Amino acid sequence: MCDGETAEPIKQPVRSDEGTETEQSVKRTRRGEKFTPANEVNLHGNDFEWVDLLKELSSEDLILYQQIRQKCSEKLQRVHNELISVRKVKKCADCFYPLGHDNNVGVLEVTPTSEADAPSPASVPAQCSSAAAEHTHDPQSWERHYMTNKQHFPVKNYIVHAFPSLIPRMYPGQSHKEALDALCGVSSTSDASQQPPPPPALSYVESVGGRVVMEAGCGTGSVTHPLMKLFPKDTFICHDVSGTAVDILRSHDVSKLHVAQGGQLETFVLDLSRGGHALTAAVEEYCMHSLGNRASKGNTDFILLVFVLSAMPSLQHMVHALRQLRSYLRPVTGRLLFRDYGALDHNFFRFHRQDNMFLESSLNFLKGDGTEQFFYDIETVHELFALSGLAPASETVYHCNRIVNRKNGKRMDKVFVNGEFCVAPLPEDASDAKDLKNTKTD
């Protein structure tokens, strides 16, 4: 069962692991099939400040966090240096290189156009040091996970509160609540005289749509399905490493209704951690015939990345996954919506103290079922996304929930990192520009 959930009926307010539902009585079960209107849900994430939690750490825990934070920065700097090196060697804008499935090693595949272009053996390592690991990453661990835990993932009804940009504003000055109420068919409590009349013969929900939404690591649909109910005209592209999860999403009644009402849904199985052009190949194979240009690069309005990036086998794999996703975002208005596990979360320290293996080379935790988990602080998120050509579109924040066991008084602090990102220059582009400037100066 997810942290903070209960199987008993709970009166208002009801706390889930990440949200608080304001419905009078909600039976919370592992199946998590309760869809609650988004305007009846509040995102709960302000029980305490992250900096206050940092101050409360013991000296031992503080040193542990600082050491891991420093190692993250060092590894990301090495990834940055490798990307610059690859760009100079390959002399092209696309500096992807494949990441092996059998281990966490990336191999530079360089085909020089002439002997003069051929790099010296010392300048191009055969293996990328920042991706090396003792642990062999097993993508099938998530397939086994979903086969065992088909009913484990509760519906994330709060998702539009975590990412307000998902709710379009119909006129200047319209608040998030007003827009959400209108979308849910509820009259706003604000002064109606200040609102323009709705378009004739067109409901609010009918006037919103036509957007392309991609969810990477869609799982069984706990994020996508609430959005389908809100936006029946949007096109959804969903992919996951687990075929079982994709099948569950596709066969769900909400998915069937979305398609029956004229919405479009394309799903496929993809291990995004493979790097290279895996996403491009999959989209071309499964989406281009039905979606046409809407599935082309640079045409996706929103990309959802919710509790997915932390499952990648290394920081280098995360960078390559983000770069693949970035290529599909609209250059100006597109948003990558990121939510994941935060540093100093209860499990961050619990995993260290129990039998979960800490992978020194990747800074991940290996859980008992073979899946992996990483914990982010905001600084690491910004460094990671900057390496991937993505910049914050709004403030990146911590959402902090405190759960207290009433019987024994023990507390459990849950920390999540939440942010929206837009397309920005790649770091090697800036390096190229700097080199060009220096050349002209010389």
Q: Residue 124 pLDDT > 60, yes or no?
A: no
List helix spans (H) across 272-364: 278-286, 288-291, 315-326, 346-353
Residue 334, C-beta contacts closer than 8 angstroms, at least 6 positions apart: 298, 300, 301, 302, 303, 328, 422, 423
Query: pLDDT of 257-271, one tens digit each?
Result: 999 998 999 999 999
Query: pLDDT of 180-198, one tens digit each?
Result: 888 887 765 554 445 555 4
Residue among 256, 268, 262, 172 at smallest CA distance from 217 = 268
The CATH architecture one would assign to domain 69-108+123-186+210-441 is 3-Layer(aba) Sandwich (3.40)
Question: Which tokens hold the place of 390?
Answer: 């993505």
CB of 372 closer than 8 Å to CB of 389: no
CB of 31 closer than 8 Å to CB of 16: no
Average pLDDT over the chain reads 78
The average pLDDT across 425-431 equals 82
SS3 10: strand
Question: Which tokens hold the place of 100?
Answer: 């092996």
Asked whether the CA dihedral 287, 237, 167, 26 is positive or negative, the reply is positive
What is the rounded radius of gyration, in angstroms, for the C-alpha atoms of the chain?
23
Q: Residue 27 pLDDT > 60, yes or no?
A: no
362: left (phi over 0), alpha (psi -120 to 50) or beta: alpha
Asked whether the CA dihedral 279, 97, 144, 7 is positive or negative, the reply is negative
User: What band does 102 get if pLDDT is binned at 50, 70 and 90?
Assistant: very low
pTM recorded for the entire structure? 0.80
The average pLDDT across 110-126 equals 33
SS3 336: strand
pLDDT of residue 369: 74
Rounded CA gap, 62 and 84, in Å?
33
Q: Which helix (H) or strand (E) holds 52?
A: helix 50-56
Rounded CA gap, 291 and 261, in Å?
16
User: So where are the chain's domains?
Assistant: 69-108+123-186+210-441
Alpha-carbon dihedral of residues 176, 180, 183, 189, nearest 10 degrees? Answer: -100
The separation between the first and the last C-alpha atoms of the chain, rounded to the nearest angstrom, is 64
pLDDT of residue 53: 94
DSSP-derived pairing of the beta strands 14-15 and 19-21: antiparallel
Rounded CA gap, 194 and 416, in Å?
37
User: What band does 70 get if pLDDT is binned at 50, 70 and 90?
Assistant: very high
pLDDT of residue 208: 58
Of 64-78, 276-290, 354-368, 389-403, the range with the lowest mean pLDDT is: 354-368
SS3 305: strand
Query: pLDDT of 329-361, one tens digit each?
Result: 999 999 999 999 999 999 998 888 876 577 776
CB of 137 closer than 8 Å to CB of 372: yes
